[in-house]
A and B are shown apart, each in its own frame.
Chain A
Amino acid sequence: GAVVSQHPSRVICKSGTSVKIECRSLDFQATTMFWYRQFPKQSLMLMATSNEGSKATYEQGVEKDKFLINHASLTLSTLTVTSAHPEDSSFYICSATSGGGYSNQPQHFGDGTRLSIL
């Protein structure tokens, strides 16, 4: 089946540090990737939609200058949390699909990145 790899799986860093998270589709071309944030015991909250070769679309309330997204190729999207602070600590999950937007192609999820800001 379709495999999505997310790296790193866990990051612990000091406040003020910028952190980059990678999301790769290993065996298919991902025209669209999605970035989610999940707080403990809560559902997945969509942060942004990333389309290859174009600017990401951010959900309401998500600061685009804080969460920089780059989707430079059909197999790689990156999320950079700039100047991270303790309130940015969360579980970040990416997903990828070969369909544009939702369509009828299901999303395949990475295993998430646990970000802890001290």
Chain B
Amino acid sequence: GQQLNQSPQSMFIQEGEDVSMNCTSSSIFNTWLWYKQDPGEGPVLLIALYKAGELTSNGRLTAQFGTTRKDSFLNISASIPSDVGIYFCAGPSPSYDKVIFGPGTSLSVIP
């Protein structure tokens, strides 16, 4: 079935640094979603991408829908301590009846 891979698996960065993470799939996706999960809480939707090549920003976050439709990137500029958490990419199943989540990228920000 469809699988999503995320890299890196975890990151430790200094406050103020920029962050880049990516998500790749075994098959074509028509929608990419990026969620953030704070410790002990449910995921929160950050950015949704619906078109190949689309570049969308949400504050310091920017995500891009890869032109091959098999990947997506999330960038965080000037990281701050509250950026700590797990970032999941996700996309619809082939039948569009559920969402498939990637394994996540864990981000730690050192003050």
Given A6-B42, A93-B42, A111-B41, check contact A101 B101 (CB 8 Å).
Answer: no
Known: A43-B103, A101-B98, A107-B45. 19 other contacts (CB 8 A): A6-B42, A43-B88, A43-B101, A43-B102, A49-B97, A91-B40, A93-B43, A101-B95, A101-B96, A102-B97, A104-B50, A106-B45, A108-B45, A109-B42, A109-B43, A111-B40, A112-B40, A112-B41, A112-B42
Is there a chain A Cβ closer than 8 Å to B44's Cβ? yes
Give Cα A109 to B40, complex, Å: 12
Contact A107 B99 (CB under 8 A): yes
Q: Could you give, for residues 95-111 of chain B, a 1 whenever the CB lies within 8 Å of some chain A CB and a 0 otherwise?
A: 11111011110100000
Taking CB atoms, residues of chain A closer than 8 Å to B95 are 101
In the assembled complex, the Cα of A98 lies from the Cα of B57 at a distance in Å of 24
Residues of chain A contacted by B76 (CB below 8 angstroms): none
Chain B residue numbers with a CB within 8 Å of A103 are: 96
B interface residues, how many (CB within 8 angstroms): 24
Is the beta-carbon distance between A102 and B40 smaller than 8 angstroms? no
Q: What distance in Å separates the Cβ of B2 from its nearest Cβ neighbour in chain A?
A: 13
Contact residue among A42, A57, A109 (Cβ-Cβ distance under 8 Å from B44): A109
Q: Which residues of A contact B97 (CB under 8 A)?
A: 49, 57, 101-102
Q: 24 A-B pairs, CB-CB below 8 angstroms?
A: A4-B42, A34-B99, A41-B106, A42-B103, A43-B102, A43-B103, A57-B97, A93-B42, A93-B43, A101-B95, A101-B97, A102-B96, A102-B99, A103-B96, A104-B50, A107-B99, A109-B35, A109-B44, A111-B40, A111-B41, A112-B40, A112-B41, A112-B42, A114-B40
Interface positions, chain A 61-118, Cβ under 8 Å from B, are 91, 93, 95, 101-104, 106-112, 114
Q: How far is the CB of B12 from chain A (nearest CB, A)?
A: 15
B92 touches A102 (CB 8 A): yes
Q: Which residues of A contact B106 (CB under 8 A)?
A: 41
Q: Does A46 contact B (CB under 8 A)?
A: yes
Contact assessment for B98 and A106 in the assembled complex, using a CB-CB cutoff below 8 Å: no
A106 in contact with B42 given A43-B88, A43-B101, A43-B103 (CB within 8 Å): no
